[in-house]
Structure 1
Amino acid sequence: MVVTQVDSTSLDMITIIPNVTSELSVVAFNHRAIVAAILLVFALVGLFGNALVIISVIVSRKLRTITNVLVVNLAFADFMACTFLPFQSAGLLSQTGRYPLHEMVCAAVAAVQYISACCSVYTLVAIAFVRWYVITRSIRGHQGLHTPKKIAIMVVIIWIISISFMVIPPVLGIGTLGYSVYYSICSVTDTNEQGGYFVVLLWTLIAIALLLTLLFYIRILRHVLRHNKQFRDKYAVDEEAGSSSTEAHQNKASSSISAGSCPPMIKAINRKEIEITKNLFMVVCVFMLCFLGTIVNFIIPGSSVLTIYSTMILLVNSIVNPIIYGLKHPNFQEVFNKILCCRPVE
Structure 2
Amino acid sequence: MENATYIYFRYGSKAVTQVDSTCLDMITINPSVTSEINAVAFIHRAIVAAIFLVFALVGLFGNALVIISVIVGRKLRTITNVLVVNLAFADFMACILLPFQSTGLLSQTGGYPLHETVCATVAAVGYISVCCSVHTLVAIAFVRWYVITRSIRGHRGLHTPKKIAIMVLITWIFSISFMVVPPVLGIGTFGYSTYYGTCSLTDTNELGDYFTCLQGTLIAIALLLTLMIYIRILRHVLRHNKQFREAHQNKASLSVSAGSRPPMIKAINRKEIEITKNLFMVVCVFMLCFLATVVNFIIPGTSVFTLYSTMILFANSIVNPIIYGLKHPNFQEVFNKILCCRPVG
Distance (whole Å) between structure 2 residues aligned to residue 100 and residue 128 of structure 1: 41
Confirm or deny: 8 A CA contact 1:78 1:116 kept in the other structure: yes
Change (3 A) 1:141 1:207: farther
Higher helix residue share: 1
Partner of 2:84: 71
The equivalent position to 1:104 in structure 2, one of 93, 113, 117, is 117
1:187-213 deviations in Å (ceiling 9; x for gaps): 000000010001011111110111011
Confirm or deny: 8 A CA contact 1:90 1:100 kept in the other structure: yes
Change (3 A) 1:333 1:277: closer
Distance (whole Å) between structure 2 residues aligned to residue 312 and residue 142 of structure 1: 43
Confirm or deny: 8 A CA contact 1:53 1:75 kept in the other structure: yes
SS of the counterpart of 1:143?
coil
Aligned residue runs from structure 1 range 325-340, under 5 A:
325=324, 327-340=326-339
Partner of 1:304: 303
Change (3 A) 1:73 1:283: closer
Distance (whole Å) between structure 2 residues aligned to residue 162 and residue 104 of structure 1: 20
Partner of 1:194: 207
SS of the counterpart of 1:145?
coil
Change (3 A) 1:156 1:276: closer
Aligned alpha-carbon RMSD (Å): 2.7
What amino acid is aligned across from residue 290 of structure 1 in structure 2?
Answer: C
1:216 is the counterpart of 2:229: yes
Distance (whole Å) between structure 2 residues aligned to residue 58 and residue 104 of structure 1: 34
1:89 is the counterpart of 2:88: no
The equivalent position to 1:44 in structure 2, one of 51, 57, 60, is 57
Shift of 1:226: 1.4
Partner of 2:34: 16
Aligned residue runs from structure 1 range 73-152, under 5 A:
73-138=86-151, 142-152=155-165
Distance (whole Å) between structure 1 residues aligned to residue 249 and residue 275 of structure 2: 23
Aligned residue runs from structure 1 range 246-285, under 5 A:
279=278, 282-285=281-284
Change (3 A) 1:318 1:47: same
Shift of 1:166: 2.7
1:287-322 deviations in Å (ceiling 9; x for gaps): 210112112212322101101111111011111122
Shift of 1:186: 0.6
1:16-46 deviations in Å (ceiling 9; x for gaps): 32xxxxx435111111111111111111111
SS of the counterpart of 1:178?
strand
Partner of 1:318: 317
What stretches of structure 1 of length at least 5 have no aligned partner? Answer: 3-13, 18-22, 246-268
Kindly indicate whether structure 1 or structure 2 has the higher relative contact order, using CA contacts under 8 Å at least 6 residues apart. 1
What stretches of structure 2 of length at least 5 have no aligned partner? Answer: 1-10, 13-31, 258-267
Shift of 1:75: 0.7
What amino acid is aligned across from residue 128 of structure 1 in structure 2?
Answer: A
What amino acid is aligned across from residue 323 of structure 2 in structure 1?
Answer: I
The sequence identity of aligned pairs, in percent, is: 81
The aligned length equals 306
Change (3 A) 1:325 1:206: farther
Partner of 1:29: 42
Shift of 1:95: 1.6
Distance (whole Å) between structure 2 residues aligned to residue 295 and residue 315 of structure 1: 14
Shift of 1:140: 6.4
Shift of 1:120: 0.8
1:247-279 deviations in Å (ceiling 9; x for gaps): xxxxxxxxxxxxxxxxxxxxxx9x99x978975
What TM-score, normalized to structure 1?
Answer: 0.81
Change (3 A) 1:302 1:120: same
What amino acid is aligned across from residue 210 of structure 2 in structure 1?
Answer: Y
Partner of 2:168: 155
Confirm or deny: 8 A CA contact 1:36 1:93 kept in the other structure: yes
Distance (whole Å) between structure 1 residues aligned to residue 144 and residue 281 of structure 2: 16
SS of the counterpart of 2:226?
helix
What amino acid is aligned across from residue 316 of structure 1 in structure 2?
Answer: A
What amino acid is aligned across from residue 110 of structure 1 in structure 2?
Answer: A
1:119-162 deviations in Å (ceiling 9; x for gaps): 11111110011001111125567411122221111111001011
Change (3 A) 1:323 1:343: same
Distance (whole Å) between structure 1 residues aligned to residue 218 and residue 80 of structure 2: 24
